[in-house]
Every structure is written in C-alpha cells, then in structure tokens.
Amino acid sequence: MPFFVIMTGEVEIVSPFGTHETLITVHGNGQFTGDVNMISGRRSIVRARATVPSEVIELQNKDLLRLVQNDAELSEILMRAFILRRVELIAAGVGDLILIGSAHSAGTLRIKDFLLRNGHPYSYVDLEQDSDVQNLLDSFQISAGEIPVLICRGQIVLRNPTNQEIADCLGFNESIDQTQVRDLVVIGAGPCGLFAGLILAQMGFRPIILERGKVVRERTKDTWRLWRKSVLNPESNVQFGEGGAGTFSDGKLYSQIKDPHHYGRKVLTEFVAAGAPPEILYVSKPHIGTFRLVTMVENMRATICALGGEFRFQCKVTDFDIVKGDGATSQVRGVVLAGGETIAADHVVLAIGHSARDTFQMLYDRGVYVEAKPFSIGLRIEHPQSLIDRARLGSNAGNALLGAADYKLVHHCGNGRSVYSFCMCPGGTVVAAASEPERVVTNGMSQYSRNERNANAGIVVSITPADYPGHPLAGIAFQRHWEERAYIAGGRNYCAPVQRVGDFLAQRPSTALGSVLPSYTPGVRVTDLSACIPDYAAAAIREALPAFDQRISGFAMDDAVLTGVETRTSSPLRIKRNGDFQSLNTRGLYPAGEGAGYAGGILSAAVDGIEVAQAVALSMLQWKKSVSPN
C-alpha cells in the first residue's frame, strides 16, 4: 500500500480479516498514513480508503524510503509515528491474526513470544476464558485438542505451527527477491552480529551470519580445555565462537551510552524472550551470567533461522572482494572464506570483535581505512567477596536480597594517567582469555548466582596511540608484547603470573600466596608483575591502590591478589565509518560493535548492531528499488 498525505477529506484505516473489517482510525487534513511495514517492505496488514471526496499526495515505497534516508528531521517524525502506530495495534490486539490458545499451553506462550518479538499484532482467544470460543472453533473446523491454533488473514489455519511456518504465512521471508538482491553477510556471532542478524531477519531479510568459531556449546568445551588442560584452540575460545567474548563474562546488561531511541530496551526484551530472567527489564544493574547466556544464544540463533537467516560456523573470512571505484572510494563485492569459497555480497556487516587481529591486518592490507585508538592495560585484582560486601553494604552484608556487592572506582594519577576498575565481577572468577598461542590474557566471569568466594575486577590504566606510535595497528603489537611477557612470567604453560598486593606496592617479587587464593585456571605462578606491564602503568596502579583503599577499606590489603595481564579492555583500533554507518572509504562495508571501536560491552554492542542493521536495511531496500525492472 502506498504512503498517503491527506490534503483535504478523510481516509479511514481498517484491518481486514476474512470478510470482516475492524476500523482502526480515520486520518484527516494534514495527516498521513503508514506504519513500519512500509520501511521493512513486508506486506501491509491494513487497508486505506477515502470515505469522502479527498485530495491526497501519494508516495510509492521507493520514494518514501528516499525521503526517510535524506531528511533526518522528517525521518524522525515518520519513524516515530510508524512505531507508535504498531505499538497501539499490538496493545489493542488488532491485526490479521487470531491466536486460539491456553495459558497452560507451552506452544501458546511460544507463539505469543514469537509474534511479540517480531512486532506483529494479533487477537488472542483463550480456550478457557472466552465464551464465544466454541463458535470460532466450529467456524474453522478446529477441535480444542488442536490448540494452539493460528488463523492467518481469516483464511489459513495453522495448527500448533512452528516459528518457521508462522514466518512463512505472514510473509516475513518474502520481502527480498533472492533472484535480484545479492547476499547480505554478517561476520561475527557476538552480541553485535547476533542483533544485526536478528533485526535484519525480523525486517524480512535473509542474512548469512559467518562465525569463525564453533557453536556455543562446542566452544564451551574448547574453552574448558584451556582452563583445565592448558590446551588452546585459537579459533574456539573465550574470544571466538557463537556468543562472542561476552558469553564468558559477568553478563552485565547496562551501559552509559546515549540511547535516545531506547534500543537498549529492545535488547533486553529479546534477551528475556530468549530465556533471560524477566528481572533484567526492571533492576538497575541487570546481569545474566555465563551459563544462562549459553542457552539464550542458542535460542536467538533458532529465532533468526526461523525467520530465514542462515548460520555458518567455523567459517573464517580470510579476504574481501573489493573493487576500486572512482577517487578514493571502493565497493565491497563479497567475502572469501578460508576454504576458498566466495560469497557475493554488496552489504557486509563487520562485527568481528576486538580480538580478530588477523582480520584487522587483512582489512588494513586491503586498503580499508583504520586508525589507532586509546584502550587500557593492567592487571586483575581479587579480594574476598565478604570484604567487599562489608565495605559496601555495612551491616546489611550477606543479605540475600542485596546479593554480592560490586564497585566502580577511578583515580587520576600525578603522572597524568587514569586508573579505573574494569569489568568488576562480584562472586566470580578470573579466567584465561587468550586467543593466540604462547600468550596469557585475563578476564573476569560470574555466574548468575555470583556466589564464588572472590570478587575480581580489572585495575587498568588508560593509554593512547602516543604510547604505541607509528602505525594504525601498533596497538596490536603493543598488546601482544605484554601478553607474551605474561606467558613467560607464568611459566610458558598458560598459567598466569600473580603477585600479592603488599609485595606489588613494596616493589618486591612474591614468593608465596596469602589468605586470598587466586581463582585463575589452569594455574598460577607467583612472581613480580612489574615485568608484565609498562613501567608507567605499574607506577600508576601503585598510586591508585592506596587511593582506592580510602574508599573501600581493605582494598589494598597485603594478601589481595593481582593476576596478569589485562589487555583486551577494548579494541586497539577503530574502523572508521561515516554517517550512514559504512566504512569511510569502502562502500557496502559496515564496521560495527567492539571490534570496529564503536562499543564496549554486551549491551552497547547489541545496540550498535541494531543501528547498523537499520542502516543496512535502508540501503538494501533502496538498492533493490534501483535495480527493479519496474
């Protein structure tokens, strides 16, 4: 259905269902029609007709898309109206679907969740509560034992349908003509890549999601092999594999990013639909924990596949097909996999994470613009969780309602450096997070319960490209240098070097551990951590620890444990993009998430994935119209 602006007269909007129509609203002078399906390209679920002689301005879909892309102010007005109209339809239960189900039916709950996540309105008839349910069942020749039943557009009856069958009936997978539009590729299945793929699939596209690592459960086995047996798989570890690095973390779901469109709420809603505890929608500092993240990632993959998306695991991208254009701008035409296969693609979402160093090198070699950016380096500190609880909660320490206490600290040093706590994990463990042979990297992880004996956090120092000058990829060489030093100091077997805080402050090597036992596996080696970080970083941390002790009594306790080394706080480079989210000099390439330098953490990466997906969708729909024979 075209987009109409009513100049004079009236246009009514109705929802058809078989031979019956429901009046939704009437638009008058100066108002306009439309909802989100005009942007996504899906078929309309409403009809419009003039009830009196009227004068209207008509825009076809391609013209509306061009308007939305080129006029930011008008785009904001239209998109807000379209979204609010869809929300009102969902709240009112007005649409082209009737769901007949029961509150006691798992299938009913599944279908409700699927429709809600995809923003599709429907009417619900409860088998136990609605008095007219038998008449509806009889009219469509349905028995009560067949529920849940979905009646699509008053014509098609789906008995306990799969998500795929629902998507096919509603045309979720029909908006892109596969004979005309080239493949859409998302590289990376971390939070950014998953949400980019999910949003694109919900819009009716069929993204191919390439992940160099393994599916999440196989990846978990490989990760535990490093932790238990000191065996590293460079392609399947804490950094690489389905779910991304955030799978093995505290699962924090809060961020300080600006989010005027409330995409963060969309992220949390999708997580709940995928199995996260509903409390993440309302608690001030939501988190999930590693074990729950595994199941959620699997459920999100199933949803994307049901909507027409495709996953390919252990598919490492080793090159890009990039065609030189006029001037300094090029165009991506496809990706090349390690096995030699080439996938044609004019739109590639680059959600590779902050540790894809070989891909960074390949992008630089292919002429994609990258630049060095600041990040941080440091150590991970462990205290008894009970000490943090007492310092933060006082007499309420140990209260089950409050749970394990956390903290957030920052100190500005005399040498101009800033030291801050990073990725604080209450009741968690320090984990081996290496992704390259003969290097040691640390990170923190918590389960949902946060009931391990120690609290841990990175204590890291801000650094800038002035500390690693000379090349856009110099930050990677800087990281590798200190990770190798930590590997050597740990005994060359993926054990980590550790030191008591008292010894670190006194600038003497540790010879034994104290009352705080480190949680890092596969093991630790007591030593002097001064050899594992730059001198200025060690000096800054020595200044910061006593300052932190003034805020949390016992923070600089002698027996607290420092473990080295923390280098993957964020990407050491930025793959710069312009206002339409494409690479500065490579059209069709959409740098996204942590690896591109535009996010830090699960929530911000997921939000960036949503924003990039919207930019890709607008570009693809415009491209589709430009090649249409009509």
pLDDT in tens, 409-458: 999 999 899 999 999 999 999 999 999 999 999 999 998 899 999 999 99
**Is residue 404 assigned to a domain?**
yes
pLDDT value of position 66? 74
**366 lies in a domain?**
no
pTM to 2 decimal places: 0.76
Residues 552 and 442 in one domain: yes
**Residue 139 within any structural domain of the chain:** yes
Are 273 and 109 spatial neighbours (Cβ–Cβ below 8 Å)?
no
Q: Is there a single domain that holds both residue 378 and residue 395?
A: yes
CATH number of the domain to which 103 belongs: 3.40.30.10
Measured distance CA(42)–CA(406) in Å, rounded: 46
For residue 482, pLDDT beyond 90: yes
Distances (CA, A) of 559 to 24, 382, 527: 68, 9, 14
Number of domains in the chain: 4
- Cβ burial 171-202 (10 Å sphere, 16+ → b, else e): bbbebbeeeebbbbbbbbbbbbbbbbbbbbbb
Structure tokens at 397: 């320490």
- 9 assigned to some structural domain: yes
In a domain, 175, yes or no: no
| Domain boundary, last residue among 566, 588, 615 | 566
| Residue ending a domain, choose from 60, 92, 124 | 92
Which residue reads 């990170």 in tokens?
Answer: 443
Buried b (16+ CB within 10 A) or exposed e, 478-494: bbeebbbbbbbbbeeeb
> Which CATH number goes with the domain that contains 79?
2.60.120.10
Q: Which helix (H) or strand (E) holds 247?
A: none
Per-residue pLDDT at 59: 87
Same domain for 106 and 47, yes or no, is no
Q: Kindly report the CATH number assigned to the domain that includes residue 251.
A: 3.50.50.60
> Is residue 84 domain-shared with residue 104, that is, in the same domain?
no
Q: Is the pLDDT of residue 359 over 50?
A: yes
559 and 581 co-located in one domain? no
Residues 553 and 453 in one domain: yes
Which of 92, 126, 154 is the last residue in one of the domains?
A: 92
pLDDT of residue 183: 64
Q: What is the pLDDT of residue 480?
A: 98
Cis omega before residue 426 (within 30°)? no
CA 378 from centre of chain: 26
361: in domain: no
Closest CA to 78 of 29, 45, 39: 39
pLDDT band at 67 (very low <50, low <70, confident <90, very high): confident
Range of the domain at 384: 374-566
Domain co-membership, 63 together with 166: no
Task: Report the pLDDT value the prediction gives residue 626, as an integer from 0 to 100.
Answer: 47
Task: Kindly tell me if the per-residue pLDDT of 384 is higher than 90.
Answer: yes
113 and 74 share one domain = no
Closest of 39, 32, 40, 47 to residue 1, by C-alpha: 47
Of the segments 140-154, 168-182, 322-336, 596-610, which one has the largest average pLDDT value? Answer: 596-610
- pLDDT tens by residue, 91-126: 888 888 889 988 888 889 889 888 887 778 888 888
More confident residue, 220 or 46: 220
pLDDT on residue 69: 61
Mean predicted confidence (pLDDT) in 524-547: 98
Indicate the residue type of 381: I
Establish if 443 belongs to a structural domain: yes
Angle formed at CA 32 by CA 28 and CA 35, multiple of 5 degrees:
130
Are residue 486 and residue 528 in the same domain, yes or no? yes
Q: Would 527 be classed as within a structural domain? A: yes
Cα–Cα nearest to 200, from 624, 562, 615: 615
Report how far residue 528's alpha carbon sits from residue 523's, in angstroms, rounded to the nearest whole number: 16
pLDDT band at 389, cuts 50/70/90? very high
**pLDDT-based confidence at 593, cuts 50/70/90?**
very high
Condensed to tens digits (0 to 9), the pLDDT of residues 484-515 reads 999 999 999 999 999 999 999 999 999 999 99
Percent of the chain clearing pLDDT 70 (strictly above): 96
Q: Are 443 and 567 in contact (CB under 8 A)?
A: no
The number of angstroms, rounded, from the C-alpha of 42 to the middle of its chain's C-alpha atoms is 25
Judge if 215 and 278 occupy the same domain: yes
Cα dist. 100→109, 125, 146 in Å? 11, 5, 10
Confidence check: pLDDT of 630 > 70: no
Least confident span in 77-86, 246-255, 571-580: 77-86
The reply to whether 617 and 577 lie within a common domain is yes
Confidence label for 175 from pLDDT (cuts 50, 70 and 90): very low
**Looking at the predicted structure, is the pLDDT value of residue 178 above 90?**
no
pLDDT band at 176 (very low <50, low <70, confident <90, very high): very low
Q: Do residues 19 and 107 share a domain?
A: no
pLDDT band at 40 (very low <50, low <70, confident <90, very high): low
Identify whether the C-beta of residue 590 lies closer than 8 Å to the C-beta of residue 332. no
